[in-house]
């Protein structure tokens, strides 16, 4: 782990504007970090897709709610060489294998005996030289998978308690050469001194894989807090189809950022209806044990209430 003192972080993908659910998670990450004396970092997870200008808009939205963070903001696309060195280190240590499977082949392959549902079936794990040569002859470039020596791993979450989840031979580099999320996030957290990971509870199932990889790399597993998401009234995560869900959309409808912050705070039981709040006030009231455990159902009438 880096010698830098402890940190929390928010790590959006700059693929578009942040919606209210993203902003709520960012606020919680800020509150968890700031109320425990940690630095707060922003990392742009832009390996997959980035929309020009989205990163700047995201940072502006976070600032408009009162959040501050340590600089510089880290971009994963600037760290490809670092990921490559870690992947090479794992390869040389015999901890990886090349996988030539398509998604369809994985879905249609019979599961290995006693393997958890959804686990990689191990198709390319122990290829013979002849089988590997046949795969290579197809011209399909391989992904690189971790060679896992366990099928599950246990993490401790501040909101969910002890959670044991599946670990399989997950991808650490895609077949187009892009480092996979599960590798990049672990490498970045370790390099930045992040020992507190606050994010949406839709990512809880990925924590065991990431914690397992951290131990393989000799790093300390962070403290996790997987927080409830914001859903529409149909119980589905927010999207543009739900109408005004970004700060820009809401501002166009006459809803200022201060009102959005107050409604988010109310959804966390940190403010009374109609109360105007700021981040120092929220930090003074923040108690992780008292946070709601259920998702916030956001309806179209929220902003008129």
pTM attached to this predicted model: 0.93
Can you list the residues of the chain whose pLDDT is less than 50? Answer: 1-4
As annotated, the active-site residues are 240
The pLDDT of residue 114 is: 60
The pLDDT of residue 4 is: 47
Instruction: List, as one string, the DSSP characters of 242-271.
Output: GSS-BHHHHHHTT--HHHHHHHHHHHTTSS
Instruction: List, as one string, the DSSP characters of 115-183.
Output: PPTT----TTTT--HHHHHHHHHTTPPPEEEE--S-SEEEEEETTTEEEEEE--S-EEE-TTSPBPHHH
The pLDDT of residue 118 is: 76
100 is in an annotated binding site: no
Sheet order of strands, 194-200 included: 74-75, 39-44, 7-10, 194-200, 223-227, 152-157, 161-166
The pLDDT of residue 234 is: 87
Q: What single DSSP character describes residue 292? A: -
In angstroms, the CA 8 to CA 69 distance is: 10
Cis amide leading into 72 (omega within 30): yes
199 is in an annotated binding site: yes
The pLDDT of residue 237 is: 86
184 is in an annotated binding site: no
SS3 41: strand
What structural domains does the chain harbor? 7-79+183-304 (3.40.50.620), 95-179 (3.90.800.10)
99 is in an annotated binding site: yes
């Amino acid at each position: 782990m880096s010698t830098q003192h402890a940190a929390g972080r928010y790590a959006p993908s700059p693929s578009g504007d942040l919606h209210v659910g993203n902003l709520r998670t960012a606020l919680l990450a800020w509150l968890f970090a700031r109320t425990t004396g940690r630095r707060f970092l922003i990392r742009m997870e832009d390996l997959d897709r980035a929309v020009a200008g989205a990163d700047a808009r995201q940072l502006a939205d976070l600032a408009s709610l009162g959040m501050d963070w340590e600089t510089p903001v880290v971009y994963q696309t600037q760290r490809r060489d670092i990921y490559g060195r870690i992947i090479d280190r794992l390869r040389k240590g015999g901890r990886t294998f090349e996988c030539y499977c398509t998604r369809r082949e994985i879905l249609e392959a019979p599961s290995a005996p006693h393997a958890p549902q959804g686990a990689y079936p191990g198709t390319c794990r122990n290829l013979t030289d002849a089988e590997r040569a046949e795969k290579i002859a197809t011209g399909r470039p391989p992904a690189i998978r971790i060679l896992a020596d366990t099928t599950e791993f246990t993490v401790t979450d501040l909101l969910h308690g002890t959670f044991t989840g599946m670990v399989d031979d997950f991808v650490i580099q895609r077949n187009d050469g892009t480092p996979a999320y599960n590798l990049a996030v672990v490498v970045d957290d370790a390099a930045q001194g992040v020992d507190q990971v606050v994010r949406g509870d839709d990512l809880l199932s990925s924590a065991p894989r990431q914690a397992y990889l951290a131990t393989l790399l000799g790093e300390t597993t962070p403290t996790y807090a997987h927080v409830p998401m914001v859903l529409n009234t149909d119980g589905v995560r927010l999207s543009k189809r739900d109408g005004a869900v970004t700060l820009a959309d809401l501002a166009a409808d006459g809803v200022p950022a201060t009102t959005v912050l107050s409604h988010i705070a109310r959804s966390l039981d940190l403010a009374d209806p109609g109360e105007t709040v700021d981040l120092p006030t929220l930090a003074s009231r923040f108690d992780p044990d008292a946070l709601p455990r259920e998702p916030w159902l956001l309806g179209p009438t929220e902003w008129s209430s």
